[in-house]
Structure 1
Amino acid sequence: MKKEISAGWAGLTFLIMIMTMLVTVVMLKQSPHVPLIVGTIVAAIIAWKHGYKWIEIEGMMYKGIRLALPAIVIIMLVGLTIGAWIGGGVVATMIFYGLKIISPAWFLVTIMIICSVVSLAIGSSWSTMATIGVAGMGIGLSMGIPAAMIAGAVISGSYFGDKMSPLSDTTNLAAGLTDTNLFDHIKHMFYTTIPALIISLVVFGILGRQFASSSMNVEKIEGTLSVLQESFVISPWLLLVPVMVIVLVAKKVPAIPALIIGILLGFIAQIFVQGGAPADAVNALQEGFKLETDNEMVYELFNRGGLDSMMFTVSMTLVAMTFGGVLEYSGMLQSMMNIIVKAAKSTGSLVAATIASCITTNATCSEQYISIVVPSRMFVKVYRDRGLHSKNLSRTLEDGGTLTSVFFPWNTCGVFILATLGVSALEYAPYAILNFTVPILSIIYGYTGFSIVKLTPEEQELLKGKGEKLKEDDSMNNMPVLD
C-alpha cells in the first residue's frame, strides 16, 4: 500500500543530492551527472520504501524524460546550427563587423539591448543565445572582456525578451495555467521587469567603462580581424542567414523548422561561399568545425559546434529529468511545497513562498517549465481565496521560475548555456543581473503592496460561479453510465 511521502524524506533526498553535487562539482571539479544519478537512486529507494512498485518508479523517470524531449531536440539542432554557421562563415562575419562597429566601452550594454530586442521579437531566449549570443561571445572576447560578463549580458537580454514576449512559451504557459489574460499578464510584469532592465543596463554601463577605447588592445583585435579574413570569406550577405531565422520565428514559424532552415543555409554557405568540400560541411554538422590557426582566441572560438558537442548536454538533461520525474510524480515535491504554503501568512510571505517554490522546483526538477507548472497548481487557489488577482500569481511564477532556471548548472537552461556560450552557471551567475534582480523586486512589492492587484467583489463572484460550475461538471462526469 502506498503511503504519502513526508517532506522530511523529500528533503533528505534533496540534501543528499546537493551534498554529492557540492563534493563532485566544487571539490573534485567533475560534471554534475553522477550526483544527479545518486539523487535519483535515493529518491527511487524512498519511493519504493513507501509502497511504490519498481515499474511505477520507472514510469516516473520516463515521464520526466518525456517532458524534456522538446528541449533535447532543440539542443541537438543548436549544435548543428553552430557547426553550420561557423563553417559557412556566418559567425565569422558577425564577429568581424561587430569588432568594426561596436565600442568596447558600450559593448555589454549594446549586446544586452540587441539580445533583448531579438528575444522580444522571437520569444525565445535559447534561439537568441544560440545565434546573437554566440557571435556576442566572440566579439566580446576579442575585445578582452571576460567571458562571464559577456554571458551575463547576453543572458539578461535574452531572458528579458523571453519573459515579456507574447510569443514566448513560458509567458503563455504562466498566463494559461492561472487563467490570466495574456496581455494583462505581460503588462503586469512591466512593474518588476522594466526596473530590473534599467538596473542591469546601468550596471553593465559601469562595468564597461574599464574596457574603454583607450585601454583596447588594438593589436590583438587587428590580429583577430586579419585571421578571420584569411580563414573565411567575409560578406554582409551572410548576415541574411541569422536575419532569416529571426524573421521566421517572429512570423510564428516553430523553432524547429526555423532552425533547420538556418542549418541548411549555413551548410550551403560553407560549400558555395566558403568553397568547402561537401564532406567537410557534413563533418562540421556532426563533429563541429575545424580550423587550424596560431591565434589562440580564434582557435577556441571556431573549433566547436556540431551534434557531438551537444551530447554532454543531452545526457545531463536526461539524467536531471529522471531525478525530477521521481520527485514530481511520487509526491515528494508536493510535500515540500505544502510546508512552504502553510508558512505563508501575509501577501508578502505568499509572494516570497511562490518564488521560493519556483526556485526549489528549478533546483530539484531541473526544468524551467516544471517550475511554472507545479507552483501554479499549488498556489492558484490560495491567491484566489486571499482575494488576489490571478495576474499577481502569473507574474510571480515568471519572476521566480522563468528567470532563476539559469542559476543551476544541472537545470536544462544551465546546461544549454554552458554548451552554447561556453560559460558555467557558477561563473556567469553574478553577472546575470536581470535574472536575480526581478525576483528580489517581486518580493519587495509583495511586502510593500506596490502593484499588488486585489480582486473586485464582482470578480470574486464570477470566480465563485466558475468554481461551482466546475464542481457540477465534475459530478456529472463521475456519474455511472447505465446500459
Structure 2
Amino acid sequence: METKMNKGNPWALLPLLVFLLLFVGSAFITNDFAKMPVIVATLIAGTFALVMNRKEKFGKKADIFSKGGGHPNIILMAIIFILAGAFASVARGMGAVESTVNFGLTMIPANLLLVGIFVIGCFISLSMGTSMGTIVALAPIGFGIAEQVGISPALAMGAVIGGAMFGDNLSMISDTTIAAVRTQGTKMSDKFKVNFIIVLPAAILTAIILAIVTPGNTASIGGDLPYTLLKILPYLAVLIIALLGVNVLIVLIGGTIFAGIIGIVDGSFGFYGLIGLIGDGIESMQTLAMIAILIGGMVAVIKHNGGIDYMLHAITKRIRTKKGAEFGIAGLVSVADIATSNNTISIVMIGPLAHDIAKEYKIDPRKSASILDIFSCAFQGIVPYGGQILAAAGIAMISPLSIVPFVFYSFLIFTFGILAILFDLPRLKKYQEPEIIDYGEADKTI
C-alpha cells in the first residue's frame, strides 16, 4: 500500500528524545530508575515541546497542548485510572486479596503448588488489574514455597511474575488495557476476546512447564488459611459484568460500592474507613493520570509540528503489507517498553502512531490494541530493571537477572504474539471500524 501522507518533520520528535534521555539516562548514571520520576521527565519533555517551533506563538502551542491533554479520550482514561485505583484499594482493604490467595492455596494439590501460584496470580491480576499488587501479595508465598520445596527462588518468582503479567495484559481495569483500548478506538470486551485467544495457549503452556520442572516437589503451607467466599465476589462481579460489555465506568463504580458494602457489613472498615480507602486508591493512580494528560498534550504538539507524520512516513515507507504494519506496531511498543520499563507509558506514547498505522493498513482495532498490550507486557515481564522483576527480586533477596530466564509466560506471549501476526490469528469475521481519534490539531479532538 502506498502512503500519501506528509513526510513530516523529524525535529518535532525531539521531546520524545528528551524524555528518554532524562529517564533512561538518569537510570544509567545512578543505576536506579526511581531517581528520575516519570512524571518529572514527562513534564520537562512537554515543556521542551512547547518552546520548540518559534514560528508559532507560545499561546497557540499552549492551546494545542491543553486541548491534547484535555481530549475526552485522555480525560476518560485518567478517570478510569483513578476509579480502578479506588476499586483495588477498597477490595484489598476488605480482605479480597487475602481471601482469594488463601482460597486458591486451599484448593491446590500439594505437588502442584508452583502451578497453583501461577494460576492464582492469573486470577488476582485479572481481577485487580495490577501486576505490582499481585506480586506484592504472592511473592512472599512463592518464596516460602520455594524454601520448603527446595526449588530455585528465581523459578518461584518467575511463576509469580508470569501470573501477574497475565492480568496486566487482559484485565478490564488494567491501566495497560485501558490505554490500549482508548488509543485504538475499540471496546474493552472486544479487545479482551481477541487478546485472550492469543495468550491462552501461553498460559496453558506455562502451567505445563511449571508442572514438568517441579515433579514430585511438595510443600505444606502450614496452619489454617482463612478465607471468605463473599469477599471474592467483587472480583468475580467486575470480571463478569465487564465481559458482558457494560460501560467500564459503571463496572468500576459498581464494583467499588459492592466491595465497600461487604467491607462495612463484615466489619473490615466503617464508613469513613471506606472513604479513606477510596481516597488512597485515587491518590495511588493520580500520577499515572497526570502522566497520561501530559503525554496527551505533548503528543498533540509533536503531531502539530509534524513529528507523528514523520514517524508514520518513516515506518510505512518500509511496510508493504498489513502483516508488516502489525510487526511495525509490535516493534515500536516493544522498543518503547525496553526504553522506559513502563508498559502503560509505552502504550500511551506509541498508541497514537499505532492508531494511524492501523487505520492506514486496515488493521482491526481489536487486533492493534491486543498487539500493543501483548508486546508491551511481554517485555515488561522480562526487562530486569522493570518494577515487576525488581519487586519480586527484592522480596526473594535474589538478583533480578536470575529471574529473567524463568518468566516463561512473558517469553511465551511474545512467541504467540508473533505467531498471531504471522498466521493472521484470530480470524476476525468482520472488520471493526475504529472510533475516530484525530491526534493533533488545535481546533480538533485528538
Normalising by structure 1, report the TM-score: 0.62
Tell me, yes or no, if structure 1 residue 155 matches structure 2 residue 134: no
For residue 23 of structure 1, what is the aligned residue in structure 2? 25
> Structure 1 373/247 Cα, relative in aligned 2: closer, same or farther at 3 Å?
same
Amino acid at match of 1:269: I
For residue 314 of structure 1, what is the aligned residue in structure 2? 289
Q: Is the Cα–Cα contact under 8 Å of residues 85 and 91 in structure 1 kept in the other structure?
A: yes
**Following TM superposition, by how much is the alpha carbon of 1:244 offset from its aligned partner in structure 2, in angstroms?**
2.6
Q: Is the Cα–Cα contact under 8 Å of residues 84 and 267 in structure 1 kept in the other structure?
A: yes
- Provide Cα deviations, 1:240-287, integer angstroms capped at 9, x if missing partner: 332332332233322222222222232223332126443333323324
Amino acid at match of 1:324: V
Q: Is the Cα–Cα contact under 8 Å of residues 184 and 365 in structure 2 kept in the other structure?
A: yes
Q: Distance in 2 between matches of 1:205 and 1:107?
A: 9
Q: Distance in 1 between matches of 2:97 and 2:420?
A: 42
Amino acid at match of 1:251: L
The partner residue of 1:59 within 59, 63, 88 is: 63
Q: Distance in 1 between matches of 2:335 and 2:64?
A: 19
For residue 325 of structure 1, what is the aligned residue in structure 2? 300
Tell me, yes or no, if structure 1 residue 262 matches structure 2 residue 276: no
Amino acid at match of 1:159: N
**Following TM superposition, by how much is the alpha carbon of 1:335 offset from its aligned partner in structure 2, in angstroms?**
0.5
Q: Is the Cα–Cα contact under 8 Å of residues 81 and 262 in structure 1 kept in the other structure?
A: yes
Tell me, yes or no, if structure 1 residue 244 matches structure 2 residue 237: yes
Q: Is the Cα–Cα contact under 8 Å of residues 242 and 251 in structure 2 kept in the other structure?
A: yes
**Following TM superposition, by how much is the alpha carbon of 1:39 offset from its aligned partner in structure 2, in angstroms?**
1.9
Name the larger-Rg structure: 1
For residue 347 of structure 2, what is the aligned residue in structure 1? 368
Q: Is the Cα–Cα contact under 8 Å of residues 108 and 205 in structure 1 kept in the other structure?
A: yes
Amino acid at match of 1:270: G
Q: Distance in 2 between matches of 1:143 and 1:54?
A: 54
For residue 292 of structure 1, what is the aligned residue in structure 2? none
> Structure 1 347/249 Cα, relative in aligned 2: closer, same or farther at 3 Å?
closer
The partner residue of 1:335 within 310, 316, 320 is: 310
* Structure 2 counterparts to residues 20-169 of structure 1, below 5 A: 20-28=22-30, 29=32, 30=35, 31-46=37-52, 48-49=53-54, 51-62=55-66, 63-66=68-71, 67-103=73-109, 106=112, 109-110=115-116, 128-130=127-129, 134=133, 138-144=137-143, 149-157=159-167, 159=169
Across the aligned residues of Structure 1 and Structure 2, the Cα RMSD in angstroms comes to 4.9
Q: Is the Cα–Cα contact under 8 Å of residues 64 and 301 in structure 2 kept in the other structure?
A: yes
Q: Distance in 1 between matches of 2:95 and 2:58?
A: 51
User: Which stretches in structure 2 are left out of the alignment for 5+ residues?
Assistant: 1-5, 147-155, 394-399, 428-446
Q: Distance in 1 between matches of 2:193 and 2:279?
A: 40
For these two proteins, the number of residue pairs brought into alignment is: 384
**Following TM superposition, by how much is the alpha carbon of 1:15 offset from its aligned partner in structure 2, in angstroms?**
2.6
- Provide Cα deviations, 1:211-234, integer angstroms capped at 9, x if missing partner: 9424x6x4xx54xx67xx6xxxx5
Q: Is the Cα–Cα contact under 8 Å of residues 80 and 178 in structure 2 kept in the other structure?
A: no
> Structure 1 309/174 Cα, relative in aligned 2: closer, same or farther at 3 Å?
closer
Q: Which moved more, 1:366-375 or 1:242-251?
A: 366-375
Q: Is the Cα–Cα contact under 8 Å of residues 159 and 406 in structure 2 kept in the other structure?
A: yes
SS of equivalent to 1:23: helix
Q: Distance in 2 between matches of 1:360 and 1:95?
A: 34
- Provide Cα deviations, 1:351-372, integer angstroms capped at 9, x if missing partner: 4334334556777993637745
Q: Distance in 1 between matches of 2:322 and 2:278?
A: 52
For residue 436 of structure 2, what is the aligned residue in structure 1? none
Q: Is the Cα–Cα contact under 8 Å of residues 348 and 444 in structure 1 kept in the other structure?
A: no
Q: Distance in 2 between matches of 1:266 and 1:359?
A: 36
Q: Is the Cα–Cα contact under 8 Å of residues 94 and 239 in structure 1 kept in the other structure?
A: yes
Q: Is the Cα–Cα contact under 8 Å of residues 106 and 205 in structure 1 kept in the other structure?
A: yes
* Structure 2 counterparts to residues 285-304 of structure 1, below 5 A: 285-287=278-280
SS of equivalent to 1:52: coil
User: Which stretches in structure 1 are left out of the alignment for 5+ residues?
Assistant: 120-124, 288-305, 384-389, 455-483
Amino acid at match of 1:239: I
SS of equivalent to 1:343: coil
Q: Distance in 1 between matches of 2:203 and 2:48?
A: 41
For residue 378 of structure 1, what is the aligned residue in structure 2? 357
Q: Distance in 1 between matches of 2:295 and 2:185?
A: 26
Q: Is the Cα–Cα contact under 8 Å of residues 329 and 372 in structure 2 kept in the other structure?
A: no
Q: Distance in 2 between matches of 1:238 and 1:189?
A: 26
SS of equivalent to 1:213: coil
